[in-house]
Amino acid sequence: MGSQGIHSDLVSVPQNRPLLVALLPIPVAFVVGVALVGNTSQLYFWTTVAETVLFALSVNLLFGQTGMLSFGQAAYFGIGAYTVGLLASHQVNPLAMLALSSLTGGVAAALIGAVTLRTTALVFAMLTLAFGQALYSVTFHLQAVGGENGIVGIVPAGLGGIDLGQPRILWVFTAVVVSIGAFFLWMVSRSPFGRALRMIRDDATRAEMLGIPVFRYRLFAFVLSGAIAGLAGGLYAFVQGVASPDSLFWTTSGEPVIISLLGGARFFYGPVLGSVIYVAATDTLSQMTPAWIFWIGLGFLIVVLLSPDGILGGVHRLWLRYGTRALDGGRRRAR
């Protein structure tokens, strides 16, 4: 994609299959490398990053690609976590548990989406928030799911004799599940359906006029996002060993939105970059100073003032200004 690409196509990727296949060994080598040489805290760090990436990507399918700000995605994330939490003591196959997490997240999203999607923009954000908080207060008060402490001490059952409680194995397992989920979302984003979503984001009225069933597509995106958020929540329960009301709280919904904005919400890989930076920054700074929130805030502010469309947005603009010029020998004027 050159500098002439239209705005709506920013999220698309080069149509260069051999290149992508050639690049594939890099993430595979990374996963294996971390598994081989990582110590316990590094393994925990990257496992947390991976699970955050999946949640952020699911939220960004709505936020960055469809232009819908939901402040209630923690509900589906939390439902996924609780699904695993309730099943874990019954020795259920981990893959079946994750499939069920995804299913419960998707079903909840379908029910809530059918109601909330009658509105748009900020009212939609507030409605998703309201329903999310309503579910939060249910888990908080319901003693059957552990009340305000939630379900603790979740240990995934073995997968055909492999012990998932082992940090190294849990990392590889998480990395594989997240990669499959991310690949699925990437395929969705590249599909005609994904293009239609970006069209709805850029101009919903025009999309409707051109025959795109806007409500149905938005609902479908909402359900997909909820299902993947449920999957991410299930992984969270494996990794952290808990399913608590906190995972349904509205601040948990805000985190992936901030992560997407930080990395660049209009780019498919924005949430991936955002997650790595966010988890690394909170992890490092919170060990250094009790006022770590101050420095995180300052960092975000600098990013947003320098580049309102996130880090990848800034990189993209620099590329359009200097990179393409270098490639074309300065013949093509940068936009």
Binding site for another protein (CB under 8 A): 63, 67, 69, 115-116, 118-123, 126-127, 129-131, 133-134, 137-138, 140-141, 250-251, 254, 257-258, 261-262, 290-301, 303-305, 308-310
- 141/206 with CB nearer another protein: 141
- 127/212 with CB nearer another protein: 127
The answer to whether 137 and 81 are in contact (CB under 8 A) is no
φ, ψ of residue 159 in degrees (nearest 5): -110, 95
Q: How far is the CB of 109 from another protein (least distance, A)?
A: 15
Q: How far is the CB of 52 from another protein (least distance, A)?
A: 17
- 57/262 with CB nearer another protein: 262
Q: How far is the CB of 69 from another protein (least distance, A)?
A: 5
- 181/263 with CB nearer another protein: 263
Q: How far is the CB of 313 from another protein (least distance, A)?
A: 10
Q: How far is the CB of 75 from another protein (least distance, A)?
A: 11
Instruction: Name the burial class of residue 59, with classes exposed (0-12), middle (13-18) and buried (19+) by CB atoms within 10 angstroms of its CB.
Output: buried
Q: How far is the CB of 141 from another protein (least distance, A)?
A: 5
- 9/202 with CB nearer another protein: 202
Q: How far is the CB of 28 from another protein (least distance, A)?
A: 33
Residue with the two structure tokens 């079903």: 107
- 103/219 with CB nearer another protein: 219
- 110/169 with CB nearer another protein: 110
Cross-strand pairs, 243: 151
Q: How far is the CB of 297 from another protein (least distance, A)?
A: 3
- 64/234 with CB nearer another protein: 64
Q: How many residues does the chain have?
A: 335
- 67/156 with CB nearer another protein: 67
Q: How far is the CB of 329 from another protein (least distance, A)?
A: 35
171, two tokens:
């990392």
In three-state form (DSSP H/G/I as H, E/B as E, the rest C), the secondary structure along the chain is CCCCCCHHHHHCCCCCHHHHHHHCHHHHHHHHHHHHHCCHHHHHHHHHHHHHHHHHHHHHHHHHHHCCCCCCCHHHHHHHHHHHHHHHHHCCCHHHHHHHHHHHHHHHHHHHHHHHCCCCHHHHHHHHHHHHHHHHHHHHHCHHHCHHHCECCCCCCCECCECCCCHHHHHHHHHHHHHHHHHHHHHHHHCHHHHHHHHHHHCHHHHHHCCCCHHHHHHHHHHHHHHHHHHHHHHHHHHHCCECHHHHCHHHHHHHHHHHHHHCCCCCCHHHHHHHHHHHHHHHHHHHCCCHHHHHHHHHHHHHHHCCCHHHHHHHHHHHHHHHHHHCCCCCCCC
Cross-strand pairs, 151: 243
